[in-house]
Chain A
């Protein structure tokens, strides 16, 4: 074998070894969702969407959600809590909610903004229920249908035994109102444009007024602004 041929074989072998090494290397995200969690999948409008952070270290947020000033009112900084009984959550809790409650069908991620906002882009896995559905009297009938979709059951007049048990405190009344049984109602996470957005707080107050249990409502105050600030996946709704 000539020296030239030996060199050629060595080069080919090194090239194959490099390819094998590259293929064996795990594809991991440099910018993970959090420690040990590079990404997750969530179903949005029947599609599996990979939720991850933008991997470009030079990426900077631009456009509307990079703005620091908006006219106040109405775009005023919101308190950290909407109601003392409603828990406020952050991104990690949203990730867990996506992987557990959404997948199990025990929770709903609600984009509480008006449809014109929703159409501009949303958080994967979200369903658009504009806040006006929960605040305007003319939507009362539709609101009832939505509450049923959320797992609430309209209540019949309680029988004598049930009434007596309730009066004696022998039955669990926590999730009962005059009109609704919220025992099997889903956990709702509501969000809107971010800390200076009043749309999801309005929706939450409307739900509370309809009797929805506060411990089944979660408020993601960061909303679209924080979601985009972290460079997290967004989707343009098809419907």
Chain B
């Protein structure tokens, strides 16, 4: 049983707190019952210990209050001894809660949760062969349907791209391609724009040249 639990939980070693419980169980379900029972017992012990701690705490407080009052030194010493005893007891109880109950409860909680999960998973029975075949066929059909749907969806997406323009549309397209009459200035502007990237001096020189040619000569020869 221990090996089985180890494999199921995927652990190398089991803690000492749960080993005897697993050893005493005949199957996982019984182990879970034992774990839960152990957890319930420990929770009850822990509650009892906590209640006892409160009782001791109350007693300590009472004695401390009494010690603050106007009493003899001998009485004070007696109270101090009593308080010391109470604190020892409280320390003992605290250690018990921390080192035994809390620790054990943590381990038990973990194992209960793990076993519950495992049992839940394994509790679902596998379907018979026929059902599995039917399901496989259905799955295949669904896959095929999915494939078809995918193709159809792709087809719908491609259709507008392949559609040929009709005559009217062709005419419009041709119109679009025909050069506009105001193409020239557009070109000049384009050239100018290209030239803007050149050095400024060169640009100035080049722009000056045509203006000189267009200007009338300074000496006019009369005929």
Is B one of A's binding partners? no
